[in-house]
Each structure stands twice: as C-alpha cells, then as structure tokens.
Amino acid sequence: MTTKKRKFPLHLQILAGILLGLGWGLLAVNIGMADFTKDFIKPFGTIFVNLLKMVAIPMIVTSLIIGVTSLKDINKLSRMGGKTLGIFILTTVFAITIGVVIANVAKPGSGIPEETKTKLMSAYADKAAANSESAESFSQQGPLQPLVDLFPENLLNAATDNANMLQIVLVAILVGVALILIPAQKSEPVVRVLDGLNDAVLKIVDIIMYLAPIGVFALISSVITEVAGDNPSEAIGLLTALGKYVIVVLVGLCLHVILVYMPMVKFLARRSPLWFLKKMRPVQLLAFSTSSSNATLALNMENAEKNMGIDEEVTGFVLPLGATVNMDGTSMYQAIAAIFIAQALNIDLSLTDQIMIVVTATLASIGSAGVPGAGMVMLVIVLNSINVPAAGIALIMGPDRILDMCRTVVNVTGDTTVASVVARSEGLLHDRE
Ligand code: ASP
C-alpha cells in the first residue's frame, strides 16, 4: 500500500493542534469567547471524533476476520486468546496495586479544608447524582449480565452501536472461524474482498488524520473553556485544592508505564522501550486529545501494523479487545479516586476494603466503555463495594477530564504493549526501523 509521506510527522501535527488549542482556550476564557468556542469551534472536534469512531467497527470487522482466517488453525486462536486475556488481567491488577499503595502512602485526601469540601460538593452535586444514576442501572443487573451482553441477538443492531464493540469482536471471530472451517476455494474470495476493504479502511484513517490538527485544536480548546466554566478563578482555586490528588494519579500512571510496560516491552517483546514510545507518539497524543480509546483504536491498529511491525493477526484481535476491556489507566484512577474520597470523608478503609477495591476496580475498568468519562461513572461501583457514599464523586469531578486524557494514554499504551508481547510469543512481530 502506498502512503504519501507527510511533510510534518503526524505527532507534530497533533502536538501543534494541542498547543494551539491550549493557547486559544486560555485566551477565549479571558476575552469572553467561551460561547463562541462552544458554538463554532467545538463542532469540528466532534466531527473529527465521529469520523474516528465511524471507522472503528469496519476496521475491527475486516482485520479481525482476516486475522483469524490467516491463523489457519483454531488452537492457535484459543491459545492467543487465553494469553491476551491473562496478560490483560495481570497488568490491570498491577496497575490497581500501584494505585492502592501510592494512595495509602501519599494520603492525598487527608487534610483538605472543610470549606473546600463543601464548595466542591455543592459545585458538582447535580453532576454527581446523574453519574450515580447511570452506574446504578449497571449495578442492578445480575452478575452474569456482562457475559450475556457479549452475545448479540441481532447482528445489525450490534453493528450500529459502538458500545457493542465486544459483540462485534465476537461475531467477527465467529465468521473468521467459520471461514477456516469451510473449503478454501469458497473462503478465499471472501477473504480477498475483506482484504481490499481493509486497505480501503486504512486509507480512510489516513484521510481522517489529515484533519487531525484542526480536530485536536477544536477538542482541546473546548476542553479548556469547559473546565474553566463561568468563573475561571474559582475553577483554578478548586483545582489547586485537589493538586495532591491530581499529582498522585499522574505519578501512578507514569510508574505503571515505567515499572510494568517498559520491562514487558524490553524483556517479553524484546524491543527497545524508547523505540516503542517513539512509535507510539501519534497514538498517545490522539488518545490524550480525544480522551477515548474507541476513537483512537483505528489509528492504533494502523500504526501497530505499519510502523511497529505487529502482525495483523495480532492487532486485529488484541487491540479491539483491549480498547474495550483493558483499561489499566482507568482501573488505577478508580482505585486512587476511591481511596481519596474515603480519606476526604474520614472513612477508614480496612485491608478487606482495599482488597475489595482491587477486585471491583478490575471489574469496573473492564465494564468502562472507551469513551470520555466512562471510568468516572463506573467508579460508583467501586465506592458502593466499600460503603463510601457515591455523592463523594463530586469531590473529584473538577479535574476529571484532564485525568481522563492522561489515563486514556495509558489505556492505549497498555493495549499495544500486550499486542507486542503476544506477537513476539507467536513469532508475529516483524522488524521495523
Ligand atoms: N476515557 C477512557 C478511555 O476511553 C475511559 C475512562 O477512563 O473514562 O479509555
């Protein structure tokens, strides 16, 4: 496939969008152009994200079916599946453990003045209540509901909602398996058509990425104006009061990348960690700008195949699955946030509570969709399990979008790390410069 080389590498284009968006956002807040930004700039960000989400399902379907059929045997598929899920769960548990340890050591929730707490609670009370309601409907379902939800009763319905991404993954695997089982002369033409479609989808991703600087500019400037709200100085005051909490989450996320992902890349995927991070730059910057694993999925798949040498058989399978169930950044954030809220509300957590956090944050991160703010909705489930009032979420809502951007970077980095490890173990990691 021929791709024209860009004059400016993609990561620099996205970075320029982020910086210009930041600049304009701050200016707009100060010169009273926040409404203009919302009405005339934000829509371009929405268009960009919509386009990215639009290609996610076609990309999953074509690469996953091609990936599964090229595995040629079903044992290999189940071995790869087992490995992938096992590593996903292990890395998530590591992330939560790091979060629990640093939140207990740094105690970001102790010592927040009563007055600040009251202000935060009243500023975000309504949003917190709405949040709990959405989580409530989730937790009222039976324990096996997530399993039931994996199986669509109607194929077209499944394909029309990005929230059903896992159902699509399942159907695509099933189609791939069926194509392996039927005679080759019947399956080959189907696979050839899908291969052509897959190249077309990759090309569409390239075309969409030409809009990246504008889309990212629009996304970042609207985030800034929304975080600042009507009273920027009060917003800054409240954010500073939560400074320690924000720093603990950011340090935790960095530690997870350094202590877990980098050794996995070095020793299990046998690749240079610096090379890995360099290749991941455009994907990480897009994750940061969109706050959405789903919106980043198509670029991640394209980048992993073309620039990182991870075979399509692996990316088609591991990355879509990862974008929906493997969210280490989110799980760590949920653990730290739950402990922070308990500390701020002077609720002591026993060892059993802390273990409960590890279990429920693992499940809650699996249940979180790859869209902005999903992790915060599912945080309610973690809080319920340790008897901390869900209204306490109001305390951490202010800086959530910014933390969401950072945890999404870790979420997508984790998916590609696991894809590299699985690819290496299957002999499917190819050399790239
Ligand atoms: N925004 C995150 C993602 O898409 C999920 C979350 O933590 O809210 O990966």
Q: Is 381 in the pocket of ligand 1 (CB under 6 A)?
A: no
pLDDT of amino acid 2? 42
- The owner of tokens 């993954």 is 169
Residues 6+ apart with CB under 8 A from 51: 208, 211
For residue 319, give the nearest of 180, 423, 194 by alpha carbon: 423
Q: State in Å: Cα 152 to ligand 1 middle.
A: 24
Residue range 24-36: average pLDDT?
Answer: 91
Atom of ligand 1 nearest to the CA of 411: 9
pLDDT of residue 331: 97
pTM score of the predicted model: 0.90
Q: How far apart are CA 422 and CA 413, in angstroms?
A: 14
| Helices and strands counted in the chain (H then E) | 20, 0
Q: Is the pLDDT of residue 404 over 70?
A: yes
Residue 101 CA to residue 388 CA, distance in Å, equals 19
Q: Which of 220, 209, 218, 291 is nearest to 45 (CA)?
A: 218
Report how far ligand 1's centroid is from the alpha carbon of 1 (Å): 32
382 CA → ligand 1 middle, Å? 16
Least-confidence region, from 290-294, 301-305, 317-321 = 317-321
For the Cβ of 13 lying below 6 angstroms from any atom of ligand 1, the answer is: no
Q: Which residue is associated with the tokens 């291969």? A: 195
Residue type, 129: A
C-alpha 368 – ligand 1 centre gap (Å): 7
pLDDT-derived band at 1 (thresholds 50, 70, 90) equals very low
pLDDT band, residue 36 (cuts 50/70/90) = very high
* Phi/psi-derived region of residue 291, left when phi > 0, alpha when psi is between -120 and 50, beta in every other case: left
Least confident of 164-173, 263-272, 285-294: 164-173
67 — pLDDT class (breaks 50, 70, 90): confident
Position 122 confidence tier, pLDDT thresholds 50, 70, 90: confident
CA 408 to ligand 1: nearest atom: 9
For the Cβ of 368 lying below 6 angstroms from any atom of ligand 1, the answer is yes
Residue 321 Cα to ligand 1 midpoint, Å, equals: 14
**What mean pLDDT do residues 174-183 have?**
92
Determine which helix (DSSP H) or strand (DSSP E) holds 376, and give its type and residue range. Answer: helix 374-385
Token code pair at residue 321: 């699955």
| 176 has a pLDDT exceeding 50 | yes
Cα 147 to middle of ligand 1, angstroms: 21
Q: Is the dihedral of CA 375, 377, 382, 386 positive or negative?
A: positive
Q: Does the C-beta of 375 come closer than 6 Å to ligand 1? A: yes
List, in order, residues 6 or more apart from 287 with CB less than 8 Å away.
293, 296, 405, 408, 409, 411, 412
Q: Which ligand 1 atom is the nearest neighbour of the CA of 412?
A: 9
- Between 217 and 127, name the one with better pLDDT: 217
Can you tell me which atom of ligand 1 is nearest the CA of 323? Answer: 9
What pLDDT sits at residue 140? Answer: 67
What mean pLDDT is reported for the chain? Answer: 89
Asked if residue 379 has pLDDT above 50, the reply is yes
Look at residues 235, 263, 296, 251 and name the one whose alpha carbon lies nearest to residue 56.
296
Distance from first CA to last CA of the chain, Å, rounded? 17
Q: What is the pLDDT of residue 324?
A: 86
Q: What count of Cα atoms within 13 Å lies in the side-chain half-sphere of residue 315?
A: 25
122 vs 134, residue with greater confidence: 122
**What kind and span of H or E run contains 52?**
helix 42-71
Question: Tens digits of per-residue pLDDT, 202-216?
Answer: 899 999 999 999 999
Task: Return the half-sphere exposure (C-beta side, CA atoms, 13 A cut-off) of residue 114.
Answer: 0
pLDDT at 84 over 90: yes
Dist CA 296 CA 284 (whole Å) = 8
Query: Domains in the chain, start-ordered, CATH in brackets?
Result: 10-425 (1.10.3860.10)
Q: How far is CA 385 from CA 240, 290, 354, in A?
A: 29, 30, 10
For residue 138, what pLDDT is reported? 65
Q: Once rounded to an integer, what is the mean pLDDT over residues 164-186? A: 89
Of the ranges 93-107, 159-173, 356-370, the best mean pLDDT one: 93-107
